[in-house]
Amino acid sequence: MSTSNRGVVVLVGDRNGVGYEVELPAMTQRLFASKPDGTDVKLFISLQQSQHQPVPRLFGFQRELERDFFEELLRVSDIGPSVALSVMSSISVPQIAKAIVDRDVKTLKSLKGIGEKTAEKIIAELRGRAAKYALLPEEAVAVQETPVDFKLEVRDTLVKQLGFKPMEAQQAIEAAMKRNAHISCAEDLFDEVLRGHKHG
């Protein structure tokens, strides 16, 4: 791995020394900035290519859900890969997702490349899918050092952001855990609750 000052990490493959340029959001850049060249890193990649962008571009993220959120942003009209990357370089994914769920236009339009109309589009198109991203930990290290009751976290999200009654949320969580006893984080539990609610 080697980095440049324009937010690109160069990954060199094992075969024939083939290199790939991968664009990173600022927070992922900072994560890898202290690592020496040649360090192996794991990234979740989003490949973007379109009629307007015939040359493929690779975007890398530390976590799978961060990549998924990037691709959610691309669903919004007027948001291309460069703008989505700028948005995710401004503040953390949980903060962006919380602003969407809370209909916080002020926070969204403060992000680079986002005006008021685009902020309103983001809320209109993504609000129903943004809640699980608000559950992402700000830092992986913090999660390991400070264990949290992820069931309580999911219950609060269901009640405060999705309109579940407290008892209904608790029952949905218990049913989800019964279906999948191996769930160990808020994001997976949230997904399982919504799956059960959808098919219930």
Among the CATH numbers 1.20.81, 1.10.8, 3.40.1350, 1.10.600, which is that of 148-199?
1.10.8
The whole-angstrom separation of Cα 79 and Cα 53 is 13
The whole-angstrom separation of Cα 100 and Cα 111 is 12
Provide the residue ranges of all domains of the chain, joining segments of one domain with +: 2-134, 148-199
Q: Which of 10-19, 33-42, 185-194 has the weakest average pLDDT?
A: 10-19
Fold match flag (2-134 vs 148-199): no
Does domain 2-134 fall under CATH 1.10.3720.10? My reply is: no
Task: State the sign of the Cα–Cα–Cα–Cα dihedral 53, 129, 90, 5.
Answer: negative
Element spanning 166, H or E? helix 166-179
Question: pLDDT confidence of 117, banded at 50, 70, 90?
Answer: very high
Mean pLDDT of all residues belonging to the chain: 80
Structure token digits, residue 112: 């680079």
Q: Is 166 exposed, middle or buried (0-12, 13-18, 19+ CB in 10 A)?
A: exposed
Summarised one tens digit per residue, pLDDT across range 37-72 is 666 778 889 988 877 767 788 898 888 899 999 999
